[in-house]
Chains A and B, each alone.
Chain A
Amino acid sequence: MSKALRVSIFYLPIFAGLALWELAARAGLLNPSIFPSLGDTLLAFVRLATKGHLLEHAELSLFRQSSGFFLAAFFGIVSGVLMAESRWVRNILEPLLRATFPLPKSALIPLFILWLGIGDSAKVAAVFLGCLLPIVVTTYNAARGINKQLVWSAWSLGTPRWLIPWKVVLPAALPEVMSGLRIALALSFTLMVSAEFLIGQRGLGFLIGTLGEDGDYAGMFAAVLAVTIIGFTADRLFLWLSGMLLSWRD
């Protein structure tokens, strides 16, 4: 059986669900004023993509989400590894992390509205700080839990001390780091959409809200569909990438 066929069989229930949605709408089981059919939603999607500004909104949202996420990934991984390797860094960062970690990350959004106003920076900052803490914590735990013999071997083979965290510890901790990043990736989209619902004049979250306020529910469903597709695609790209990054392991 080819791979494409296997994948389509796996996702068959999704397609069946979509077909059921269309059939139920055609049979008049759904109230069209609050539950547009799949066909109408797809038509609205095409309309928004061609005549509307769906792509511009999506581009802006992705810019905000990815800036926040990549900044958080970089600083989170670096500080997580340093925490595991240096007692000084650990003594400074651990109490701060322990005190702030239980904060529901969405509570940061009002703070950044206060500090940075309603522009891009407030959203990027909310995504950044929201993703940073989970990435630091998973990286720290992963780096702390690696097999110490790897470090000793590298040490005795003459690896310079400052290189060990990056050449030995991080690669050894990578599988767990990647699964932490995957969770943070999903969170980054949630924070992006939430922040855009609340503030600003552009972005997919804003588009969903404004279409809903105008009563264009097919358009609103289409914009939700766009967010869904983007989140799903980003996750699968991430899985593919982490498969490549981890392919040297057995």
Chain B
Amino acid sequence: MTARTQTNGLRRGLGRNLSLVVVLILWEITTRTGLFNNFLLPPLSKVLVRGWFDLLSGEIPHAVLATGTLTIVGFGLAAVSGIAAGALMSMSAIARRIMEPLVSVAFPIPKISFLPIFILWFGLGDESKILMIAFTCVVPIVSATFLGTATVDKYFLWSARTLGTRQHALFWKVVIPAAAPQIISGLQVALPLAMIIAVVTEMLTGGDGLGGYMIHAVRFAQSDKVFAGLLATLLTGMVFIQGFAWLRARLLIWHAETTVVAAA
């Protein structure tokens, strides 16, 4: 009984990912039969073996840890300051006047172009990378928080006030929870950006981390290592994005959005 359910589950999983499995098999076959240049596209098995060795030697875990730390610290800095700034914008007209044009200009510009300036000011170490990540991520977080907190349903505020909630408690107990879905959506836009910038800054400053791992591999023409690095980066990205989606469901467990998803 259980064995059959398991086989069925396996078959369904395979069915849903059929094209992915086909692509992976084609990758292995075409490279093994010499249809593709093995330097440009090393066989999947060779990539996996290389990844396995670098996993055991500690090189990949070290890189994942470095990139992960950069991402979390830079993203965390952006989250704290971005939510604070966005909330301030919805509470104070002066803050809004000052910050709205800044956000509207900062939104589309390629902020990565400031990296050489950051390196000039803060050196080649982690400070530049973290500030670069925070600078990139803060913009979507500020605008999502501002939009979320500025459009809180007035009935919530009136009810809470009528029931005797004080002004600052009103903010923490009503405004922030009511705006939480939008704030978290802003954070979900910023998180992939944090990883993009973490990887780029590592490639550019030649430090360690996944970006450094891959760019070294390119410089030394180790193509299997480039692919192993890509795979490790993909898996790290998956863990971050899935982890945050899980966190969203936990944080918003009281919210209608989660109930709907759970019911569906």
Co-complex (A, B): yes
A2-15 vs B, Cβ < 8 Å mask (1 yes, 0 no): 00000000111110
What distance in Å separates the Cβ of A203 from its nearest Cβ neighbour in chain B?
11
How would you classify the secondary structure of chain A's contact residues: helix, strand, loop or mixed? helix
Is A141 interfacial (CB-CB < 8 Å)?
A: no
Bound CA–CA A235/B99 (angstroms): 19
- Among the listed B210, B211, B238, which residue makes an inter-chain contact with A102, where contact means beta carbons less than 8 Å apart? B238
Is A124 interfacial (CB-CB < 8 Å)?
A: no
With A12-B101, A13-B101, A205-B113 already in contact, the answer to whether A104 and B19 are too (CB < 8 A) is no
Stretch among B27-35, B84-92, B193-201, B248-256 lining the A interface: B193-201
What distance in Å separates the Cβ of A207 from its nearest Cβ neighbour in chain B?
10
- Decide if A193 touches B110 in the complex (CB within 8 Å): yes
What distance in Å separates the Cβ of B191 from its nearest Cβ neighbour in chain A?
10
Bound CA–CA A212/B101 (angstroms): 29
CB-CB under 8 A from B211, the residues of chain A are: 106-107
Bound CA–CA A10/B116 (angstroms): 30
B218-261 vs A, Cβ < 8 Å mask (1 yes, 0 no): 10000100110110011001101110000000000000000000
- Decide if A232 touches B113 in the complex (CB within 8 Å): no
Size category, A interface: 35 or more
- Cβ-closest chain B residue relative to A223: B113
CB neighbors of A among B70-109 (8 A): 97-102, 105, 107-109
CB-CB under 8 A from B101, the residues of chain A are: 10-14
CB-CB under 8 A from A34, the residues of chain B are: 120-121
A78-120 vs B, Cβ < 8 Å mask (1 yes, 0 no): 0000000000000111111001101111111111011100000
Size category, B interface: 35 or more
- Decide if B98 touches A13 in the complex (CB within 8 Å): yes
- Decide if B19 touches A103 in the complex (CB within 8 Å): no
Is B56 interfacial (CB-CB < 8 Å)?
A: no
Is B16 interfacial (CB-CB < 8 Å)?
A: yes
With A13-B98, A110-B203, A217-B120 already in contact, the answer to whether A232 and B19 are too (CB < 8 A) is no
- Decide if A114 touches B226 in the complex (CB within 8 Å): yes
Q: With A13-B98, A106-B199, A111-B227 given, can you name 18 additional A-B contacts, CB distance below 8 Å?
A: A10-B101, A14-B101, A35-B121, A91-B19, A93-B19, A95-B16, A102-B242, A103-B233, A104-B195, A107-B214, A107-B229, A110-B226, A198-B203, A205-B113, A224-B113, A224-B117, A231-B108, A236-B108
Binding site for A on B (CB under 8 A): 16-20, 23, 40, 97-102, 105, 107-117, 119-121, 192, 195-200, 203-204, 210-211, 214-215, 217-218, 223, 226-227, 229-230, 233-234, 237-238, 240-242
Q: Sample 28 A-B pairs with CB under 8 A, ordered by A number.
A: A10-B100, A12-B101, A13-B102, A17-B102, A95-B16, A95-B19, A95-B20, A102-B192, A102-B237, A103-B230, A104-B199, A106-B200, A106-B211, A107-B229, A107-B230, A110-B214, A182-B108, A189-B108, A190-B110, A193-B113, A194-B200, A197-B116, A197-B204, A208-B116, A224-B114, A227-B109, A231-B110, A234-B108
